[in-house]
């Protein structure tokens, strides 16, 4: 399965874009009401938790932090939450994001790779990342998210 890669230029400072990924206010805005819970230490676990199948405290995705350089780079393994797939522990991918200053903009590169063969969430993830990346750009530039009608 091919890596999913997205590059986008955002009219905001890298620290403002970074905060969208790591603060409760930012993650709730771009990740469908979920909060990122982690110490961000290399090797430590993380969870995106929010409203869903199991109520207000549904684990949507989880994994381990692989890299964490505040304001510049973060990488982590990713598994679908237990309520989504019985074999969630086997379904590991990697997500890496990098922020770079380009003139008066921030270039966000997001890569979701290491997909195991026949991963059941590949197609839905392929559809979700453009929505999330678009929301990151809009939120960083305007303080508002896009209304996708769902």
Whether residue 147 lies inside any domain: the answer is: no
The total number of structural domains in the chain stands at: 1
Whether residue 132 lies inside any domain: the answer is: yes
Position with higher pLDDT, 34 vs 55: 34
CATH classification of the domain holding 24 = 3.30.530.20
Q: Give the C-alpha separation, 134 to 62, whole Å.
A: 22
Whether residue 27 lies inside any domain: the answer is: yes
Whether residue 150 lies inside any domain: the answer is: no
Angle between helices 14-22 and 122-142 (to 10 degrees): 130
Whether residue 149 lies inside any domain: the answer is: no
Interval 120-131: pLDDT, tens:
999 999 999 999
- Residue 51's domain spans which residues? 4-142
Residue 48 confidence (pLDDT) above 90: yes
Whether residue 114 lies inside any domain: the answer is: yes
Whether residue 68 lies inside any domain: the answer is: yes
Question: What pTM was estimated for this model as a whole?
Answer: 0.92
Q: 56 pLDDT band (50/70/90 cuts)?
A: confident
Q: Give the C-alpha separation, 79 to 123, whole Å.
A: 15
Percent of the chain with pLDDT over 90: 88
Whether residue 75 lies inside any domain: the answer is: yes
């Amino acid at each position: 399965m091919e890596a999913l890669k997205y590059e986008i230029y955002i009219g905001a400072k890298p620290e403002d874009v970074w905060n969208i990924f790591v603060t409760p206010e930012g993650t709730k805005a771009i990740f469908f009401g979920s909060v990122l819970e982690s110490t961000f230490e290399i090797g430590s676990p993380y969870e995106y938790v929010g409203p869903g199948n199991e109520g207000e405290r549904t684990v949507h995705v989880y994994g381990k932090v692989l890299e964490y350089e505040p304001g510049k780079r973060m990488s982590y393994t990713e598994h679908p939450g237990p309520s989504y797939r019985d074999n969630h522990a086997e379904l590991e991918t990697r997500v890496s994001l990098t922020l770079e200053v380009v003139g008066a903009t921030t270039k966000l590169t997001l890569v979701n790779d290491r997909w195991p063969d026949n991963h059941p969430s590949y197609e839905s993830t392929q559809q979700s990342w453009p929505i999330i990346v678009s929301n990151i750009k809009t939120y960083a530039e305007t303080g508002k998210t896009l209304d996708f009608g769902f």
